[in-house]
Amino acid sequence: MTTRLTWYGHATLGLETDGYKLLIDPFFTGNPVASATADEVEPNYILVSHGHGDHVGDAVAIARRTGATAIANAEIASWLAGQGVEKTHAQHLGGGYQHPFGYLKLTLALHGSALPDGSNGGNPAGFLLTTNDGKKIYMAQDTGLFGDMSLIGDEGIDLAVLPIGDNFTMGPADALKAVKFLRPKTVIPMHYNTWDLIAQNPTSWADEVQSETNAKVVLLSAGESFEL
């Protein structure tokens, strides 16, 4: 069984696993680095980590067009339902559920979560997915560094996707510490170089991570994929 992760730019990820297509934080419209448009993706599931506009993005339009099931915390799931998203599945931090595509747990994230219209988006989340063949993928989405990443690391992470942009999330130095807590086999950086405010050099970060940890860093350009 192959699982393929695609980076669409910023924090927007695609995951194809066991025949299912997941789209995470689908920010295409207004995203200066997006490698696709909102009308050309065909997900079965849309995962929304928190309420900010660069993560909720095109979730409503894509879910309404495709009939995809939206998965988010309870506050965001009910907000999406109120926007006309027919199928939603609410979870909450620390809670996991066996979906057809794998076991998905919402993890802690150190961030905000207000929705674009000012509604309460609950608490922000990251995602820990155990695929149907047992691979563990941690998508931190927007977060600062927190020590309990070492508990997530205890799960045995095959792939971690981490923000390195700084300003809104972890920057390179804290993301290096996160790799030490998480101990992933492979790490992919994201949430950088979307705007000048979060400009970073991913190559020098990769060199540092690979000299100080056992993790392999994979640098994707927007639109590129990594196969587990």
**Partner in contact with 58, chosen from Ni ion, Mn ion, none, beta carbon below 5 to 8 Å by kind:** none
Running DSSP on this structure, what letter comes out for residue 89?
E
Residue 142 binds Ni ion (CB under 5 A) = yes
Encoded one letter per residue, x for contact with Mn ion by CB under 5 A and - for no contact, window 23-62 reads -------------------------------x--------
**Partner in contact with 183, chosen from Ni ion, Mn ion, none, beta carbon below 5 to 8 Å by kind:** none
Nearer to Mn ion, 102 or 172 (CB): 172
**Partner in contact with 25, chosen from Mn ion, Ni ion, none, beta carbon below 5 to 8 Å by kind:** none
Q: Binding residues for Ni ion, how many (CB under 5 A)?
A: 2
Least separation in angstroms between residue 141's CB and Ni ion is 8
Q: 70 Cβ partners below 8 Å, 6+ apart?
A: 45, 46, 47, 48, 59, 63, 77, 80, 85, 87, 88, 89
**What is the SS3 assignment for 139-189?**
ECCCCCCCCCHHHHHCCCCCEEEEECCCCCCCCHHHHHHHHHHHCCCEEEE
Residue 166 binds Mn ion (CB under 5 A) = no
Contact region with Ni ion (CB under 5 A), list: 16-24, 128-136, 139-147, 199-207: 139-147
Nearest-angstrom CA–CA distance, 111 and 143: 5
Q: Identify the CA nearest to 155 among candidates 184, 177, 179.
A: 184
Quote the tokens at residue 193.
Answer: 């170089």
Least separation in angstroms between residue 214's CB and Ni ion is 30
Nearer to Ni ion, 40 or 197 (CB): 197
Contact residues: Mn ion, CB under 5 A = 54, 142
